[in-house]
Amino acid sequence: MNIALVAHDKKKDDLIVLIKTYTHILKKHQLFATGTTGKRIAEATGLPVHCFRSGPLGGDQEIGAAVARGEMDMIIFFRDPLTAQPHEPDVSALMRLCDVYSIPLSTNMGGSEILIRSIEQGDFESLKLSHNDEPPA
């Protein structure tokens, strides 16, 4: 699976804890991330991570484009709900694309743990059949 990992500044440490906890599962998949987040994950875990630009510089949009092309299977996006983000429209657009293309999206630790454990169980087989389809009209 192709998994995108994104975290606002105040949530990066939490995302790294999650990735360290589930390295044994995530190492079997292709990881993508926005700039600083990806660099920090790679340094902390040793996992290979393809880094896009940082979120405010277009990284969220790059991940959104990958979703629209059918190239992402899951997004884990630890958002900071208490701090205004200058690129909030990009964040909203990425979340909207996840809904349009039925891409699993989690924005917190609990939901992310469920998604990652579901990968291990093979619970996403239907996505392989459906997420590359055109969105409904």
Would you tell me how many other CB atoms lie within 10 Å of the CB of residue 34? 25
Q: What is the dihedral of CA 126, 130, 131, 135, to 10 degrees?
A: -150
29 is in an annotated binding site: no
112 is in an annotated binding site: no
12 is in an annotated binding site: yes
83 is in an annotated binding site: no
45 is in an annotated binding site: no
54 is in an annotated binding site: yes
34 is in an annotated binding site: yes
Q: Print the SS3 string covering the chain.
A: CEEEEEECHHHHHHHHHHHHHCHHHHCCCEEEECHHHHHHHHHHHCCCEEECCCHHHCHHHHHHHHHHCCCCCEEEEECCCCCCCCCHHHHHHHHHHHHHCCCCEECCHHHHHHHHHHHHHCCCHHHHHHCCCCCCC
Q: Which of the residues are catalytic?
A: 60
* Known binding-site residue numbers: 8, 12, 34-37, 54-55, 87
* Known binding-site residue numbers for substrate: 8, 12, 34-37, 54-55, 87
